[in-house]
Copies of this chain bind each other. A is one copy, B any other.
Amino acid sequence: MKTGFFKVKTREEVWGEFNRFPPLASEEISLAQALNRVLSEPIIAKEDLPSFTRSIVDGYAVRAQDTFGASESLPSLLEIVGEVSMGETVSFELSGGKAARIPTGGMLPAGSDSVVMVEYTEELDKKSVAISRSVTPLENVIRPGDDFKAGQEVLRAGELLRPQEIGLLAGLGQNKIRAARQPNVAIISTGDEIVPIEREPRLGELRDINSHSLAAMVENYGGVPLQLGLSPDQFPALRKKCEEALDRADICLISGGSSVGSRDLTLEVLASFEDSEVLVHGVAISPGKPTLLVKTGDKGFWGLPGHVASAMVVFQVLVRPFMAYLSGAQLSLGEGRSVRAQLNRNVASKYGREDFVRVKIQEEDGNFIAEPIFGESALISTLVRADGLARIERHTEGLYAGELVEVIVI
């Protein structure tokens, strides 16, 4: 293993190490499976959307110029030459002084350029309609390509597919797409004091929280969790679990080992793989300083702190972006789930360290207020009470009550 001298890295430096890993392969999936997946090739519109000029109201298709000057007291009288049916190609044409009944979504007849809403019309008989308000050309219509034009790149590779992108793909008839394979994420909990949740812990023992909260986070962010269970703090047992992870997963999370001896063991085990390279050994964030990232072949092994709140924070700010990187998506802290809130008390921080403070968000008079939740990061209750993580930048010694902070919603 390559080791060498290690210094604590900033979060941005850790993100910078990600490009040492090859991105995940892509696979063809159906549109029904595409929600929340990451597109791995751009989508080009093969045709205009919509492909024809449509009315967006119920009314009469007309030539706008025939309505100019129309008013309630002096309506324009037009001859009705036909009726547009939904879903049908219109066979007739409009010339000067003519109109055609048209429903919302109907195709405009050739010769017409606008639609008068039914509210401003009155049929005098089957053959003539009085128009009491003028329209301008293109009023109440959408034209071919108003949504997207043929040849236009409508979605970029790397884009996360939300319901609206699914709708767009449907509109383009794209019922198969290529998306990044979902990362398989192995999860191992270590620590001689940890027992499976089914077992009644004896005095001095604790149930395994991290396997379950980390699996839920993996699932929430589009990965496939593989719970490999518990390993005692012994070299052969942990090495065996890591071999299994290497075999089955793209990413492996080893949590626990919050005592120095246990942390050393994780590093020792990972170092024992021939093609291992330690990329990160300590990160300038709090909580989460004793985080490890080891590259073994093409696989990423993360050593996470054992304290439950620390492990979840490291997942949020480092592992989640790593999963995004592997999928070809943009890296971000909050993925559109950031809010700006006002701290309601002073929060101290250490210069040179980026802090992620658990907060409860409340709304007061239309402002978001972030109330720091104090409590050890070994306590899961601090996260259950929290709605977000307030980020205190590296180059500050803290923030005063009343200052605005970025809060990642969790």
Contacts and interface: CB of A to CB of B under 8 A. Distances in A.
Interface of A: 31-32, 35-36, 49-52, 54, 56, 58, 85-90, 103-107, 118, 142, 146-148, 154-155, 162-175, 191-195, 197-198, 200-217, 219-220, 233, 258-262, 306-308, 312, 336-340, 361, 366-368, 375-376, 378-381, 383-384, 386-387, 404, 406, 409-410
Given A89-B202, A233-B86, A380 B219 contact: no
A222 to B, nearest CB: 12
17 contacts: A31-B212, A51-B206, A56-B307, A58-B259, A87-B194, A105-B206, A118-B260, A146-B376, A162-B410, A163-B214, A164-B380, A166-B215, A170-B212, A171-B207, A173-B198, A336-B387, A339-B339
Identical copies of this chain, number = 2
B380 A147 contact: yes
A209 B169 CA distance: 8
A148 B381 contact: yes
Given A198-B175, A220-B35, A381 B147 contact: yes
A168 B381 contact: yes
A173 B50 CA distance: 55
Contacts of A337: 336-337, 409
Contacts of A208: 170
Contact of A56 (B368, B376, B386): B376
Contacts of A260: 58, 103-104, 118
B105 A258 contact: yes
A260 B105 CA distance: 11
Contacts of A164: 213, 312, 380, 383-384, 386, 410
Contact of A87 (B193, B197, B376, B378): B193
Contacts of A210: 167
Contacts of A193: 86-88, 105-106
A200 to B, nearest CB: 7
Contacts of A51: 201, 203, 206
A213 B86 contact: no
Contacts of A219: 35
> 4 smallest A-B Cβ distances: which pairs?
A167-B213, A87-B193, A103-B259, A163-B216
Given A35-B216, A164-B312, A170-B197, A86 B380 contact: no
A321 B148 CA distance: 32
A34 to B, nearest CB: 8
Nearest to A213: B167
Given A164-B380, A213-B167, A386-B164, A192 B258 contact: no
Given A142-B376, A170-B213, A104 B306 contact: yes
A316 to B, nearest CB: 9
Contacts of A307: 56
Contacts of A258: 104-105
Contacts of A379: 142, 146-147
Contacts of A259: 58, 86, 103-106
B166 A378 contact: no
Contacts of A146: 375-376, 379, 381
A216 B259 CA distance: 44
A165 B384 contact: yes
A201 B376 CA distance: 61
A161 to B, nearest CB: 8
